[in-house]
Structure 1
Amino acid sequence: MNKLEKVANFYGFYGIFIKQTSPAPPSFQPLPGSRESDLEDLRLQYIYQKDISEQHLITIKELVSDEETRHSSIETKIGNVITQAGLVFSITAVIAPFFNDTLNSQSLGIKIIVLIIFVLAFSAYVASILFATQIFGINKFRYKKTSVASVIDSGVTSEDILAKRVKDLIYQHRENQKVNNKKADILIYANRWFVSGFMLSGLLTGLITVSLMFVEKPDEKEKEYDRFINSLNIRLLNAESRLTQQQSIIFIHNDSLNDQRIRETFEQNKDEFDSIRFELKSFKALLHK
């Protein structure tokens, strides 16, 4: 098995995720010579033993109860994984818009790395949820229970009934343990994906934090320069607008009595326009020195 296959196995791609869990077969056929084969032989050959069978029944009931408790514990933990992954999705949706503002001043290489890590973390959370939600497939996981027909058909004596009860509980415990093991595998894989996504999210946060330490922030003087240039640009646009309006008026009222006043206003605006333009050019030249 190469490293890629080991990683795939670690995250469940060659287990539950690809090969869907199927319901337990109606008849149990253990491998000859295996521990399960020996247990099945003991179950089939079990006969009533006075005082001992009662203890067997009590002990096996405890084992069945333990599996039921384990079943509840596994489903609770898987539910917690789904809840935590959903919470992370909600937090990501809230803080994602801030990433753009934070990364505006970063280099293209940093942006690409951050994007790759973000996609990997997001994919890990999605995989975690996909694994965890498999437990809700009711038809895939069938727990064994003692049926009414089995109880009625247990025998004619109390010894036969007790022996049949022990056999049924042995079978029930074994089959339910298999189902719980499959669910435990799902929990393991879902948790591995969630932890991987959490670690990638931490790496992403650390990378952004460290990269911000090396970004040169503009000082207050540069900000003041920018505000001044923006103010001059606005004044320049306003002057150009007034100049265009006055020029249009001159052309329209070329022979009117107010031509002289219009021309005087035009010249004043033109002087203001030239003054702003000269001031702006001088300031820009000063900044580039």
Structure 2
Amino acid sequence: MLARLAKSVAAHPVLWIVGWLVVAAACALTTPSPDELARIEPRSLLASDEPYNRSLALEREAFPDIASRTRTVVIFESDAKLTSEHEAFLRKLSDQLQGDIATERGWTVISPTTQPLMQSRLRSEDGQSAMVVVCSDTNYLTRRSVNDVETIESMIAEAIPEGLRYEITGEGGLGRDLVHSSEKAFERTTHVTLIALLVILVIVYRAPLAASVPLCAIGLSVMVAIMLLNQCTRIGWELGSIEKTIVVVLLFGSGTDYALFWLAEYRSGLGDAAT
């Protein structure tokens, strides 16, 4: 099998290169967009009869207004007691969060203006801080939850009055930070892997052009693999930065070894044919 594959690649290199480019282009055209990936993310990786989901269902029955998978907590603080301008901003923000976007994204808002009976929990005793909680049914480690937090933050940043500070916490804020850290780790791992392999290949081949050939081939394979995994999310697979990092490390690591072995064998075969 491998011998026939090797002969085919050696006999028709242009066709194989064009074929790979066609496959990569087809994957790029059909791979889900970031927005689609966010929409099709599962709300939970646990089965509906697992204890956590069963307890969440009971919580929804008992407390339908506050039960949720993820709570994004926004803490507002001022150096002095909250002013009338600050209070007006909090009322306006609560109204915005409860508008059409709440229906679209399944939000429930808990704030001093929506839950007057919870004033003691949502305001500090000195009157310098207040809390707004946005409850949603999304997993806090998903792109959808990150989009929710970023939407809330943009709504706050557009109209927050002078002298009022805010911080975002809760599962939503924690999940946003974890997802961003994971994405940065994926980018850094990719860059470090590429640099390390480039240095190794330049040392082995002593020619940058020769080193770029396996890197380009492996890089194309990584792109196709990740895009195919993105396609699998449409049938219920879960894909995150950790899985992408594993793909990058495995394909670049094993791919480089295989490329070195393949090229060495190919060179040896050419030498045998010449003799």
More helix by share: 1
Q: Larger radius of gyration, structure 1 or 2?
A: 1
**Common fold by TM > 0.5:** no
More strand by share: 2
Which structure's relative contact order is higher, taking Cα pairs within 8 Å and 6+ residues apart? 1
